[in-house]
Amino acid sequence: MIYIAPSILAADYAALGSDVRKVANADLIHVDIMDGHFVPNLSFGPDVTKAVNNVTEQFLDMHLMIEQPEKWFETYVGAGGDRLVFHVEATSDHVGAARQAHDLGVQAGFAVKPGTSIEPYLDDLELFEEVMIMSVEPGFGGQKFMPEVLDKVRVLRDRIAEAGLGTIIAIDGGIAETTIAHAAAAGVESFVAGSAVFGKDDPAAAVENLRLLAEQAR
């Protein structure tokens, strides 16, 4: 199945509710949380997350680009997060973090930066509903897609199939009409798209176009 996840990092902050409603046809909403420490940028916090949750019933995928993410799990679940995706580079216990998320009644996911190897985490995939491959350095939108990260996608795809798991492979960074097919062909199922959705005159049509391009490449 193909999932298109518009990133509100590229939305109009002054009309956030309106922009979220424009992508009611999206499969989920991607919420980037940045603390200015793990990544050199600040973005949304729990109040904005709660505001988004109040205007949509869509699944909220929380991308926690923050240090010691476990300390904030309960806060973001309380704000409406449905899946907590944390960076393995930001925690010393990714397995414990996954269990903590599950104990809070939500899904768990982990993300890896472009330079982080996926192999050390392959044996723990059964604990995660999603693995997010970063195809740019996390922290800022509008960066250029890094195709070399698709090797990690292929490794994940093979291991997930071999183990018979339902773990979703997601990709975040530089996803647009010109890159989504390459990612889909490699095995990505969930695509985070910012300006490729909210930068268009018709965001809903952009979502459908991206979904079609991904489906055709699978």
Residue 43 assigned ligand-binding role: no
Identify the three-state secondary structure at position 217.
Answer: helix
Other Cβ atoms less than 10 A from the Cβ of 72: the count is 21
- The C-alpha R_g of the chain, in whole angstroms, comes to 16
Residue 173 assigned ligand-binding role: yes
- Distance between alpha carbon 106 and the CA centroid of its chain, in Å? 15
> Distance between CA atoms of 141 and 150, rounded to whole angstroms?
19
Q: Which of 183, 194, 191 is nearest to 152 (CA)?
A: 183
pLDDT digits (tens, 9 = 90+) for 87-133: 999 999 999 999 999 999 999 999 999 999 999 999 999 999 999 99
Q: How many CA atoms lie within 13 A of 210 on its CB side?
A: 34
Residue 32 assigned ligand-binding role: yes
Place of tokens 């998320």: 101
Per the prediction, the chain carries an average pLDDT of 94
- Distance between alpha carbon 218 and the CA centroid of its chain, in Å? 19
% the chain with pLDDT above 90: 86
DSSP 7: B
Other Cβ atoms less than 10 A from the Cβ of 71: the count is 9
Domain range summary for the chain, segments of one domain joined by +: 3-217
CATH of 3-217, one of 3.60.21.10, 3.20.20.70, 2.30.30.40, 1.10.3720.10: 3.20.20.70
Catalytic residues: 32, 172
Q: What is the pLDDT of residue 203?
A: 98
Q: pTM score, two decimals?
A: 0.94
State the pLDDT confidence band at 137, using cuts at 50, 70 and 90.
Answer: confident
What are the helix and strand counts (H, E) for the chain?
8, 8
pLDDT digits (tens, 9 = 90+) for 58-82: 999 999 988 899 999 999 999 999 9
Q: How many CA atoms lie within 13 A of 96 on its CB side?
A: 8
Average pLDDT over every residue of 6-31: 95
Q: Which residue has the higher pLDDT, 35 or 199?
A: 199
pLDDT digits (tens, 9 = 90+) for 12-24: 989 999 999 999 9
Residue 164 assigned ligand-binding role: no
Q: Is the pLDDT of residue 40 over 80?
A: no
DSSP 71: G
